[in-house]
Chain A
């Protein structure tokens, strides 16, 4: 019974691609650099930023609380879960 319950609880996680965070974060790399390490830091580095800090920023861009050029428009295109995965993945990358 317990094993069955555990399996049930795990099902939603299994439905998600195991590399979802990596692949979602790769959509940021065109501007912010591969793995969040940009060549030209006019667009800020994201690698190694604490996940909480990054997620708070993304959430504020998404809600419109934080102003910007591209980011307020782009953050609205991702779900909260997707932003969480992006923040978690980028926080694990080595700083530039």
Chain B
């Protein structure tokens, strides 16, 4: 939460340092809130590139990092959750201060972050990487169904991932699993379709009479469409049934899921809620009160100068998915810009970010989508380079191996793993 009156009071660009109480680090203090792909990478690269001259503090409420990428393999029974969990010790080894706490208020005018225990952290520049939160009011009954465990979202990795796995293990052979996909934009466009493939793989192996019904609020598959259509038809036919243009309208107390044209009674309900920027940035989510608009040269929030926002919480540029890979890339852009601004210099006028995202269609075979995004000075946004990027010709075991290596390497890059 950001106190609105303070936000309004927030004026021009923040200046480095503090005249009455100069910080030990000559460039100044940066506080990063959120320890996912975006926040961890921002902290890591601020320190990597800023060295002793910058004081970096990472605030994250969870004890450890748990990766959403690869978590669908856990749901499908093909990977252990411990293998996608990492501590923040690597970042601490780099000289980053780690604070485990919940942020309760942000005051951009006073340049202070308030923590739940009553303590405060001062900063010269603030980086926020809150990820997404759910728009539960949009679907009556969804909040109660998630709270009771009758429905599972598993769209933030951790306890929900394991809960969905346990429910799939407890599913009787011949049972029905329902997955509902919200309207785009949501975190990880190919994620639901990958999950559908991995749940179907598990059911075929362990419960051959069970069915998976995938109801998508969107008119079509949102990423790697032709490849997923092929996987659904060739690998998962008979187990997986996919229907587009089916938006979840309500979840009844008995677990009946109501869609526009049908009601579905299922044994396992994986209901992925509609999404918006995380609660932490609600007051600076200036785009439809849902996403944070940013200046792409610095990742500064349009509504709060001095406050940089990266990852799933921002309004994505055209053709730019909400992915962990891009959160990492945006964080590097933000880190470079923050250091320039702390020096009183302009950020890089021509930043570039790129995306690579792998999806598994079976526990071993994966495929990718890739894109490169260059800054367009005339339109002041990032543009996907025409003629670049693309998808795999087909899913393969070779790309499955590369996907696993990608995960290890991006975790190490983001979290400074030894």
* A61 CB, min distance to chain B CBs, angstroms: 11
A39 to B412, CA, bound (A): 7
* A39 with B351, Cβ < 8 A, contacts A73-B389, A76-B387, A77-B388 known: no
Enumerate chain B residues within 8 angstroms of A22, measured Cβ to Cβ: 49
* A78 with B413, Cβ < 8 A, contacts A17-B349, A34-B48, A42-B405 known: no
Verify A23–B351 contact, CB threshold 8 A. Answer: yes
Verify A17–B348 contact, CB threshold 8 A. Answer: yes
* A22 CB, min distance to chain B CBs, angstroms: 7
Verify B409–A30 contact, CB threshold 8 A. Answer: yes
A42 touches which one: B349, B390, B402 (CB < 8 A)? B402
* A40 with B409, Cβ < 8 A, contacts A30-B356, A76-B387 known: yes
Verify A77–B374 contact, CB threshold 8 A. Answer: yes
B388 touches which one: A23, A40, A73 (CB < 8 A)? A73
Verify A69–B399 contact, CB threshold 8 A. Answer: yes
Verify A43–B402 contact, CB threshold 8 A. Answer: yes
A48 CB within 8 Å of chain B:
no
* A27 with B412, Cβ < 8 A, contacts A69-B402, A73-B389, A74-B389 known: no
* A46 CB, min distance to chain B CBs, angstroms: 12
* B42 CB, min distance to chain A CBs, angstroms: 12
Enumerate chain A residues within 8 angstroms of B93, measured Cβ to Cβ: none
A41 to B412, CA, bound (A): 12
Enumerate chain A residues within 8 angstroms of B389, measured Cβ to Cβ: 73-74, 76-77
B229 CB within 8 Å of chain A:
no
Q: Could you mark each residue 315-332 of chain B with 1 if its beta carbon is under 8 Å from any beta carbon of chain A, else 0?
A: 000000000010011001
Verify A40–B370 contact, CB threshold 8 A. Answer: no
A43 to B409, CA, bound (A): 9
Enumerate chain B residues within 8 angstroms of A13, measured Cβ to Cβ: none
* A38 with B405, Cβ < 8 A, contacts A27-B329, A30-B328 known: yes
* A68 CB, min distance to chain B CBs, angstroms: 11
* A24 with B409, Cβ < 8 A, contacts A69-B399, A74-B388 known: no
**A interface, how many residues as a size bin?**
20 to 34
B53 CB within 8 Å of chain A:
no
* A69 with B368, Cβ < 8 A, contacts A39-B417, A77-B388 known: yes
A1 CB within 8 Å of chain B:
no
Verify B372–A78 contact, CB threshold 8 A. Answer: yes
B200 CB within 8 Å of chain A:
no
Verify B348–A76 contact, CB threshold 8 A. Answer: no
Q: Could you mark each residue 341-384 of chain B with 1 if its beta carbon is under 8 Å from any beta carbon of chain A, else 0?
A: 00000011111111010000000000010111110000000000
B332 touches which one: A20, A26, A31 (CB < 8 A)? A26
- Chain B residue nearest in CB terms to A26: B332
Verify A40–B332 contact, CB threshold 8 A. Answer: no
Enumerate chain A residues within 8 angstroms of B80, measured Cβ to Cβ: none
B392 CB within 8 Å of chain A:
yes
Enumerate chain B residues within 8 angstroms of A33, measured Cβ to Cβ: 409, 412-413
Verify A27–B354 contact, CB threshold 8 A. Answer: yes
A70 CB within 8 Å of chain B:
yes
* B188 CB, min distance to chain A CBs, angstroms: 15
Verify B385–A77 contact, CB threshold 8 A. Answer: yes
Question: Which residues 15-29 of A have a CB within 8 angstroms of B?
Answer: 15-17, 19-20, 22-24, 26-27, 29
Enumerate chain B residues within 8 angstroms of A31, measured Cβ to Cβ: 356, 405-406, 409-410
B408 touches which one: A26, A39, A74, A77 (CB < 8 A)? A39
A42 to B398, CA, bound (A): 10
Enumerate chain B residues within 8 angstroms of A26, measured Cβ to Cβ: 45, 332
27 pairs of residues in contact across A and B, judged by CB atoms under 8 Å? A17-B350, A23-B333, A24-B352, A30-B329, A30-B356, A30-B413, A31-B406, A33-B413, A38-B408, A38-B409, A38-B412, A39-B409, A39-B412, A40-B405, A42-B402, A42-B404, A43-B402, A69-B392, A69-B398, A70-B368, A70-B402, A74-B356, A74-B389, A75-B388, A76-B372, A76-B388, A78-B352
Given A34-B416, A76-B389, A77-B373, 20 more A-B residue pairs with CB atoms under 8 Å apart are A19-B348, A22-B49, A23-B332, A29-B332, A29-B413, A30-B325, A31-B356, A33-B412, A38-B412, A39-B411, A39-B412, A41-B405, A42-B404, A69-B392, A73-B390, A74-B356, A76-B385, A76-B387, A77-B352, A78-B352
4 smallest CB-CB distances across A and B, nearest first, come from: A77-B372, A77-B388, A42-B405, A17-B348
